[in-house]
Amino acid sequence: MIAIYPGSFDPVTFGHIDIIERGSHLFEWVIVAVLRNPSKTPLFTVEQRLIQIRQSISHLDNVEVASFEGLTVDYAKLRKAQVLLRGLRVLSDFEMELQMAHTNKTLSDTIETVFLATSNEYSFLSSSVVKEIAKFGGSVDHLVPNHVAIDINRCYARN
């Protein structure tokens, strides 16, 4: 069974990697799908995020990293995926993700959404939190892989 784990991953965090690793044990193939969203201004380009994620999960044989634009369910159909994998941290995540899962079900009744509760140590962690800490000079080494922390520090050193 193929699962798609969609997101912006700007930047990828240890929380994302936790979901990817756990998903790789549950599904035959996991595709980490970075959304190309022209209406947002991310910290990193899609290409940079793809590289960061690939380096972070290189130890996983059944995980692929790709990018897409448009509707997630359309990309899932294109890739012959049966599952959308989503991580849940807090109650507000659940409300938003459940709404999205119901919406996706109206677009394709053949694709299921599977939620994984985040591991306790990552329950507070988001890409936004990482960027906020880094923006004000705080260390993010404990929140993201080393190569990603270096990239983040370079970005904020330029600004």
154 marked among binding-site residues: no
Catalytic residue at 16?
yes
Q: Tell me whether residue 124 is annotated as binding.
A: yes
Is 125 annotated to bind a ligand? Reply is: yes
Is the CA virtual torsion 117, 122, 124, 125 positive or negative? negative
Establish whether 16 is an annotated binding residue: yes
Q: Was 113 annotated as part of a binding site?
A: no
Catalytic residue among 24, 49, 127, 131: 127
142 annotated as belonging to a binding site for a ligand: no
Cα 84 to Cα 3, 32, 72, 89, 141: the distances in Å are 6, 10, 8, 17, 29
Q: Which of 16, 24, 49, 131 is catalytic?
A: 16
Q: Which of 89, 105, 108, 119 is catalytic?
A: 89
Catalytic residue status for 127: yes
147 is in an annotated binding site: no
Which positions make up the binding site? 8-9, 16, 40, 72, 86-89, 97, 122-128
Which residues are catalytic, by number?
A: 16, 40, 89, 127
Which positions make up the binding site for ATP? 8-9, 16, 87-89, 97, 122-128
